[in-house]
Structure 1
Amino acid sequence: MVLDPTPSRRTVLKVLGATGVLGSMETASAQPQQDPDELRLFSEQPVDNAMEVVAQDTHAYVATGNGMGIVDWRDPNRPELVADITASEPSDIGGDDEGGVGGILDVKVEDDLAVMAHNGGTGITTVDVSDPTDPEELAFHDAHHVHNAFLKDGYAYLTISESDENTFSEARTDIVDVSDPMDPKKIGEYRLADDFPEFAAGGVSPNHDVYVQDGLLYQAYWDAGVVVADVSDPTDPELVAQFGDAPEADTPQPDPFPVERYYAGEGNAHYVQPSPNGDLTFVGDEKFPSLLEEDPDTGKYGGIRIFDTSDWDDVEQVGFISPPDVNVGLRTSHNFDVTQNRLHTSWYNGGVRVYDITDETDPEELYFYDSEGYSFWTAVQERGFTLGGIYGARSDTHAGGIAFLHTDRGRNRSPSFEGSAPPERPELDPEFDE
């Protein structure tokens, strides 16, 4: 990638959108076990230009830049690409063509509905996936600068990062009622400037990604850290907490906009996800120092910060997962998936890795998959498998797709759980004396 030494802020945003980019107190660094096991590769399914991958039961949904692919993996040894659609022009499905289609970097699915987010375009497309072999585009919802989206309980949450000169004054989450996917309607929003005007004016606080759980909206606002809002009434979100902001996140930025602040500054809260019970929140910091240095192995890549969020009035960082110590290409944190005791994550050229987070202050690397020449955009857990989204644009030897991975390598081992809570304790014999 060639960077303009004096880019305009609008140019920076376009570059960041195209690459999927849009400090940290290291308390307890994750030290890999001496010999973490390699994940077993069951199979691969090519999907050209794959980016975000999400899974629901026996199907995986893949953002492909210009649309969405759907993979049937009922048999993980023999997955099959059963659908591959190209997003229609917005005006063809009820939208406005002013912003064009944009790049489809993100897809989400809930039950029979999927949405494709038009990064750099003008909104989202709703898609009927009740028959995964024959997805049907339903409608287009006009918005602006949608980088990522989330679907929960009939609502779509859209990251909006409109800007004004050198600020992200319009950074927010739009909440869209998609209960009638033929007629999506915006019903509410959470705007960063309403509660944190100094961050919105600071210039390095786009809304990059969101996650919704138990009526709470978790928003990754880059240098402004994580902002959590109560969306139990989606028409009227209310602030719950803010944490993890970078030093000087409220400082206005000079013109021309300092691109290095985006790529390798302190902060860079890129992705956020809570643990299933909400007591912990994981924040991935995406940093690309090698894009600014002649030596690709210099600089500090982004890891994953772990916060104790059991008490919203007393949030504190309690752990940290360091980037993998491998000298190949980009190796910063990207997207991940959290269960009660495991974290499955992607590190671009650093592979896919699984960590034991039972002790959040001292996470341990358990398993990895790191095939030479591959770059990974995401890692998600489904049906006991780890699905690694192979990012074709950054892979030297692959055009993109999904790697289906598992910890089972034919050896006896103690069982582990991957659910929302630890396994129930077996009932004891009443005559047994503890």
Structure 2
Amino acid sequence: MRLPRITRHQAKAGAGATMSLLLAGTVMTLSAPLAAAAPDDGSTVPEDAFNEDFFSEEEVSEEAFDEEEVSERLNQLESGPGEPDVGPGEVASHNMEHLSNVPKNGLLQSTGSDIAFQGEYAYVGNYDGFTVYDLADPANPEQLVQVHCPGPQNDVSVYKDVLVLSVDARMEDDTCGADRTSDTEEYWEGLRIFDISDPSSPEYVKAVETKCGSHTNSLAPSKNGNMLYVYVSSYSPNPALANCQPPHDLISVVQIPVNAPHAAKVASEPVLFPDGGYEGDDRGGYTETSGCHDITTYIEHDLAAGACMGDGILMDISDRKRPKVISQVRDVENFAFWHSATFNNDASKVVFTDELGGGGWATCTEEFGETLGANAIYDIVDGELEFASYYKIPRINSENENCVAHNGSLIPVDGRDLMVQSWYQGGVSVFDFTDSANPEEVAWFDRGEGISDGGTWSSYYYNGYVYSSDLSIGFDTFQLDPSIDGDARRDLPELNPQGQESF
């Protein structure tokens, strides 16, 4: 069969001009990080032109899978791809209404990525930068401002007046106008930090270099809220790279003083896998542990769940600088790449996702079955992770639609465990895992083959609506049937899905 390339969602960025804000039809240029001595300096200078070859397949740190070995494994399966439930060019849904779409535009033409929310604003990542949307009319978001600041994945988180972006690629320097570089000694990758006290005019105030860059980031504020700790997930070390040496069994913890973000720095580099973690095997697609892909914090319980390539972990983060692994699990039969994690509201369960194929494979066909490229639901029993069940969307996709479990969040309904989740071209799924052994889909939206080149990256529930970042066609808004979310909380002040708070 034909397998999509694993880098399909790494769309090449087009040529840009400078780090810019596109605001109400006016383009303004911003400087690189503002000087530490004057973080509130609003002076602007143009940056260098953006390199149109920014995203080459060999440069972006993505999951590496042996397509030939996995193809051989699939050939041993009896069934074929099957007929898709939603045909090419068609759109279908159940208990879910599509309300609006804001297409990609302006200087941000690359891959849409993650989302964070604060007040009446959504901050949506793109490999070219990020967009701020005004949600005053939540069914019809209005684009407020674009910040052109290229860097994969531009995974985004917000806390008070601080916005954090992840850069997982070698750059010539830390400015937003920097080009990619092949230099293995002199380069920069890590976190970019912005002041968003005025959401319509974000200010770039600081860059912090971290080992192997930052694929994703997760927030863990201090108890008093004055210090923001950021858990930086990165992976795939290379002995040829000066700042990404193996073994890479650690995460970086960056501390950001909330009232002085220009003073941000690396606070610690705790080793999570002193034994090296899972060593991998020869089946193809089953990845050894060499860092973490994503971490979800739950500070009210002093817990974090880590999806770390070949291992799923539960951590005690009562000491923010020194997270400690308290439970570790592996699934060498069905899980290929532990990608992300979501707690239920009372922190008695964790939903882990498996991104088999790195987001580029069509794993929602019949031959992959119900357990490959799926979620795994674990109960937390006496501080230990115990497997309960798998969940995968029940619809069959075509063999040309990349589909696998990806980013989602809880729906804040008291007494039920409900989650909304993106499945790339498999669309958006809402499932109930209150009975962790028997999860059930209760709503969904699916665009058939040919409408979106890549599908939806993140789908999150925020104050009565589902918002979704599509890799290629922009920012979507949905509304669920009241039978699903009629009792959901609609007054959350903020939402970072990788930094959960109790509702």
- Cα-to-partner distance string for 1:40-71 (whole Å, 9 max, x where unaligned): 11211223432112222321111110211111
Give SS of 1:418's match.
Answer: coil
Q: Is residue 128 of structure 1 aligned with residue 184 of structure 2?
A: no
Q: Determine the structure 1 residue equivalent to 2:206.
A: 139
The answer (yes or no) to whether the contact 2:427–2:456 under 8 Å persists in 1 is yes
Change (3 A) 1:186 1:327: same
Distance 1:413 1:118 in 2: 40
Tell me the SS of whatever aligns to 1:288.
Answer: helix
CA RMSD of aligned residues (A): 3.3
- Aligned positions, number: 357
- The correspondence for 1:45, drawn from 80, 102, 107, is 102
Length-normalised TM-score, structure 1 = 0.74
Q: Which residue of 1 is the match for residue 344 of structure 2?
A: 275
Cα 1:296–1:120 change in 2 (3 A) is farther
Partner-residue secondary structure (3-state), 1:309: strand
Kindly indicate whether the alpha-carbon contact (under 8 Å) linking 1:104 and 1:119 is maintained by their aligned counterparts in 2: yes
The answer to whether residue 163 in structure 2 is matched with residue 85 in structure 1 is no
Q: Secondary structure of 1:68's partner?
A: strand
Partner of 2:284: none
What is the CA deviation profile of residues 156-176 of structure 1, one whole-angstrom value per residue up to 9, with x for unaligned ones?
A: 110122525699621322111
Mapped to 2, the partners of 1:116 and 1:186 lie a distance apart of 15
Match of 2:477 in 1: 404
Determine the structure 1 residue equivalent to 2:276: 197
SS in 2 for 1:17: coil
Evaluate the alpha carbon distance shift between residue 136 and residue 414 of structure 1 in structure 2; reply closer, same or farther with a 3 A threshold: closer
Q: Are residues 277 and 13 of structure 1, via their aligned partners in 2, closer, same or farther at CA, if it must alter by over 3 Å?
A: farther
Amino acid at match of 2:319: D
| Residue of structure 2 aligned with 1:174, choices 252, 260, 278 | 252
For each residue in 1:70-105, what CA deviation from the matched residue of structure 2 results, as whole angstroms up to 9, or x when unmatched? 111110233111111122xxxxxxxxxxxxx64234
Query: Per-residue deviation at 1:18?
Result: 8.9
Shift of 1:13: 7.1
The alpha carbon displacement at 1:111 in A equals: 2.0
**Distance (whole Å) between structure 2 residues aligned to residue 227 and residue 191 of structure 1:** 13
Q: Distance in 1 between matches of 2:137 and 2:161?
A: 21
Are residues 1:17 and 2:62 paired? Answer: yes
Distance 2:313 2:123 in 1: 28
Shift of 1:219: 1.4
1:331 aligns with 2:403: yes
**Gaps in structure 2 of 5+ consecutive residues:** 8-55, 66-84, 86-91, 171-188, 222-227, 282-286, 491-503
Change beyond 3 A, Cα 1:124–1:41: same
Pair 1:289–1:74, CA change in 2 (3 A): closer
Task: Write out per-residue CA displacement over residues 131-183 of structure 1, whole angstroms, 9 at most, x where no aligned residue.
Answer: 11111111000113310001231111101225256996213221111123111
Check whether the contact 2:93–2:445 (CA below 8 A) recurs between aligned residues.
Answer: no
2:303 corresponds to: 216
* 1:337-368: CA deviation from partner (whole Å, max 9, x where unpaired): 12452110010011001112222221221111
Paired with 1:336 and 1:197, the residues of 2 have a C-alpha distance of 29
* Structure 2 residue 231 is matched with structure 1 residue 157: yes
1:114 aligned residue: 163
State the distance in 2 between where 1:113 and 1:246 align: 39
Residue 342 (str. 1) matches residue 418 (str. 2): yes
State TM-score, norm by structure 2: 0.64
Counterpart selection for 1:233 from 305, 319, 329: 319
